Amino acid sequence: MGACTLILQDAKTGRIKSIDHIKNLITTVGKAAMASGLRGNETNNKGIITYCALGTSAVAPANADTKLTTELFRKLVSVRSDSSNVATFQTFFGTPDANGTLREAGLFGDAASGTVDSGTLFAKLAINRVKSASDTLTLGWQITIG
């Protein structure tokens, strides 16, 4: 189970334009990668989430998804933490990052890199936000085990 908090903020004034709390889908391939990581499979950093990506497609997330439908931009996860059975991943997108109409977001890992569509899609969610070059966007994901 998972959830994500999106905070869209005016970069100049610091005013928060919107805060969204959205449930996200843990994909079938993401669940398999987590299980592989739990058993100690170190190949391709199995089970390790490293990137957050944003896309422009309004296609609804599905269990069988392996990538975003139309990935626009990805960035390394900036903060990782855990408490009890909840892993948290936070990524900050600055003013030059991912500007446009954003409709989807995902967490990637395993053999993920800065290259679009690389790695395993662990979690995906549908969003509906417009980010401009005067905005910042922070995504805070929580993945609950159990």
* Domain spans, the chain: 2-144
pLDDT reported for residue 42: 65
Tokens matching residue 50: 């490293």
Q: Which amino acid type is present at position 110?
A: D
- Cβ of 136: how many Cβ atoms within 10 Å? 17
| Better-predicted residue by pLDDT, 120 or 31 | 120
Q: How confident is the model at residue 145 (pLDDT cuts 50, 70, 90)?
A: confident
Identity of the amino acid at 146: G
If you average pLDDT over every residue of the chain, what do you get?
93
Question: Residue 32: in which H helix or E strand, if any?
Answer: helix 28-38
Residue type, 9: Q
Q: How confident is the model at residue 44 (pLDDT cuts 50, 70, 90)?
A: low
For residue range 45-104, list pLDDT tens digits in order.
Answer: 677 899 999 999 999 999 999 999 999 999 999 999 999 999 999 999 999 999 999 999
Rounded to whole angstroms, the Cα distance separating 108 from 74 reads 9
Percent of the chain's residues with pLDDT above 90: 80
Closest CA to 6 of 125, 101, 144: 125
**26-36 b/e (C-beta count within 10 Å ≥ 16 → b):** bbebbeebbeb
For residue 101, what is the enclosing H or E element? strand 100-109
The Cα 50–Cα 94 span in angstroms is 18
pLDDT (0 to 100) of residue 36: 80
